[in-house]
């Protein structure tokens, strides 16, 4: 029999329903995997006791004939989702001891559907980064780094900010994970670890109880090893929530019904502006190959133009820090989180924020405060908002000519831990293919398509119309089938 940790979520649900194994068996296998994969630093907080308890309850529900959509499935939860009674850190010293008194809507929905929590996983501090290395805790290691001991080999990043999510799923420690994506944090980690990640349309999932980074860009999404698994998770996570005024009250379709449908006649757009200077030739070749696979499956490939693409990164790095500086103002040492005493109130604020936030978070707060300050607001923030609208209009125009857009997901394969850390611009370039759709509020999915010559996975991104995740899943499942990516990292638990 296949190892329980090698099953997909959909296979596991079948096995559970057929009583081939129990939720307790499945959970125990993943708890052992968590133990075996400890050195990957995927988890900030492991919760095996909660997992065992949830698994037992799941078996009881199934025996009573009222199992939920994800009953008994062990998941990893990004440590940006508040979990009631379980420490939630945002990978920041500021929240090192923070225990929420409430549950985020997305995790509530997942647990309500019966899923099991293995623990809270690592990320870049407050989700700011593309490598996982801005975490206050030891950085997660990409299981594609090679066999243990990783300290002797070259350690690779698992992407960011959802670094623990990508690591735990790629290493077969969790069957799926939650992620959040403000500028690419689900899709870029998925790309460099060879898994699937979807950021749905802004407003699809409730942001309630997710620690805020940039509120007009943040979205939750699912990360798993197959398109089908990402679909079944998202179906549960999505939906209107009166506690989030930006969540949208439209029905959530059954995404599983979109899988395996024909792509005959589907128009796939390739944006000419995405062929950026100095593009990695292997990424370019795989992009063209992916387009050919979709064409062979019956789709029509058309060239499209997104003329304002070159402004996307500069606009993102004004808007995201601006919103972050405002959201992070609440960490003042008074109400919750870290407090470093000072000689007066101002000194306490300054000492607390200096000690509590890492370098990258402080850099964002400084940039954000600057672009929002009197005199600069119009020159930077307001102008960025205007260009953001132009970027969105580009997509609206493009979707008159095509149904989905195909692009690379990240500019290269996984890089070494510590690389790019001292060069914020090189790090920010990691998001060049992903930030545009956060600015436009559109859904995007990344899936593994091939290996580079260095043996590391490369992913492709499909972008869809607002609230049309269904077409994305259809196109992604066609590409998944054609690409037949079955490679596993050298380390799996
Ligand atoms: N890497 C981007 C940033 O640092 C995106 C992060 C994210 O999507 N949370 O802002």
Question: What domains appear along the chain, each with residue ranges and CATH number?
Answer: 4-259+472-483 (3.90.1300.10)
Ligand 1 centroid–CA 219 distance in Å is 11
pLDDT-derived band at 395, boundaries 50, 70, 90: very high
Q: What is the rounded CA–CA span in Å between residue 382 and residue 240?
A: 30
DSSP-assigned beta bridge partners for residue 81: 210
User: Ligand 1: which of 81, 91, 124 to mutate, most ligand atoms within 8 Å of CB?
Assistant: 124
Q: Among this protein's residues, is 166 annotated catalytic?
A: no
- Model confidence pLDDT, tens digit, residues 278-335: 789 999 999 999 999 999 999 999 999 999 999 999 999 999 999 999 999 999 999 8
**Is 78 one of the catalytic residues?**
yes
**Rounded CA separation 170/10 (Å):** 17
pLDDT of residue 476: 98
Catalytic residue among 163, 185, 247, 258: 185
State the Cα–Cα distance between residues 241 and 250, nearest whole angstrom. Answer: 11
Ligand 1 in reach of 412 Cβ (< 6 A)? no
**What mean pLDDT is predicted for residues 404-426?**
92
Cα 471–474–477 angle (5° rounding)?
145
Pocket lining: 411 vs ligand 1, CB cutoff 6 Å = no
What ligand 1 atom has the least distance to the C-alpha of 214? Answer: 9
Whether the CB of 183 sits within 6 Å of ligand 1 = yes
CA of 196 to the centre of ligand 1 (A): 18
Catalytic-role residue among 115, 130, 135, 161: 161
For the entire predicted model, the pTM comes to 0.97
| Ligand 1 contact via 358 beta carbon (within 6 Å) | no
Q: How confident is the model at residue 423 (pLDDT cuts 50, 70, 90)?
A: confident
Q: Residue 225: what pLDDT?
A: 98
Atom 5 of ligand 1: nearest residue by CA position = 183
- Quote the ligand 1 centre to 114 CA distance (angstroms): 30
Q: Please indicate whether residue 352, judged by its CB atom, sits closer than 6 Å to ligand 1.
A: no
Please indicate whether residue 130, judged by its CB atom, sits closer than 6 Å to ligand 1: yes
Q: What's the average model confidence in pLDDT over 208-212? A: 98
Per-residue pLDDT tens over the stretch 244-277: 999 999 999 999 999 999 999 999 999 999 987 7
pLDDT of residue 276: 77
* Ligand 1 pocket member 368 (CB < 6 A): no
The model's pLDDT over 78-99, given as tens digits with 9 standing for 90+, comes to 999 999 999 999 999 999 999 9
Q: Is the pLDDT of residue 422 over 90?
A: no
Residue 22: active-site member: no
At 152, is the pLDDT very low, low, confident or very high (cuts 50, 70, 90)? low
């Amino acid at each position: 029999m296949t190892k329980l940790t090698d099953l997909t979520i959909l296979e596991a649900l079948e096995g559970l329903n057929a009583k081939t194994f129990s939720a307790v068996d499945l959970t125990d296998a993943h708890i052992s995997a968590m133990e075996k994969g400890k050195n990957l630093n995927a988890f900030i907080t492991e919760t095996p006791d909660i997992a065992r308890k949830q698994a037992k309850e799941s078996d009881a529900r199934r025996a009573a004939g009222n199992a939920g959509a994800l009953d008994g499935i062990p998941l990893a939860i990004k440590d940006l989702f508040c979990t009631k009674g379980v420490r939630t850190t945002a990978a920041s010293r500021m929240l090192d001891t923070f225990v929420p008194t409430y549950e985020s809507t997305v995790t509530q929905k997942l647990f309500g559907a019966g899923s099991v929590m293995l623990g809270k996983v690592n990320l870049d501090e407050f989700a700011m980064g593309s490598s996982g290395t801005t975490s206050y805790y030891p950085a997660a290691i990409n299981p594609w780094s090679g066999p243990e001991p990783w300290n002797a080999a070259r350690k690779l990043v698992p992407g960011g900010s959802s670094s623990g999510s990508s690591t735990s799923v790629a290493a077969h420690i969790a069957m799926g994970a939650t992620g959040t994506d403000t500028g690419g944090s689900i899709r870029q980690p998925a790309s460099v670890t060879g898994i699937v990640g979807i950021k749905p349309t802004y407003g699809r999932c409730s942001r309630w109880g997710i620690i805020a980074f940039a509120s007009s860009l943040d979205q939750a999404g699912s990360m798993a090893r197959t398109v089908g698994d990402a679909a079944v998770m998202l179906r549960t996570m999505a939906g209107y929530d009166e506690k989030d005024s930006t969540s949208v009250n439209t029905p959530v379709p059954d995404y599983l019904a979109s899988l395996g449908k024909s792509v005959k006649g589907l128009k796939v757009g390739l944006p000419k502006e995405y062929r950026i200077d100095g593009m990695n030739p292997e990424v370019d070749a795989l992009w063209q190959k992916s387009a050919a696979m979709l064409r062979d499956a019956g789709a029509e490939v058309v060239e499209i133009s997104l003329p304002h693409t070159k402004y996307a990164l500069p606009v993102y790095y004004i808007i995201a820090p601006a919103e972050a500086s405002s959201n992070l103002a609440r960490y003042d040492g008074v109400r919750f989180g870290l407090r470093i005493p000072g000689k007066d109130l101002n000194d306490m604020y300054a000492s607390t924020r200096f000690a509590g936030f890492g370098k990258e978070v402080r850099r964002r707060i400084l940039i954000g405060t600057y672009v929002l300050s009197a005199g600069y607001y119009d020159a930077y923030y307001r102008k960025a908002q205007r260009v953001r609208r132009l970027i969105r209009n580009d997509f609206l125009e493009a979707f008159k000519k095509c149904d989905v857009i195909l692009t690379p997901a990240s500019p290269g394969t996984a890089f070494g831990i510590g690389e790019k850390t001292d060069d914020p611009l090189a790090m920010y370039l990691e998001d060049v293919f992903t930030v545009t759709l956060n600015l436009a509020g559109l859904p995007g999915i990344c899936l593994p398509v091939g290996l580079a010559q260095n043996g590391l996975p490369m992913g492709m991104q499909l972008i869809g119309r607002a609230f049309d995740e269904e077409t994305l899943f259809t196109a992604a499942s066609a590409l998944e089938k054609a690409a037949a990516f079955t490679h596993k990292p050298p380390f799996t638990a």
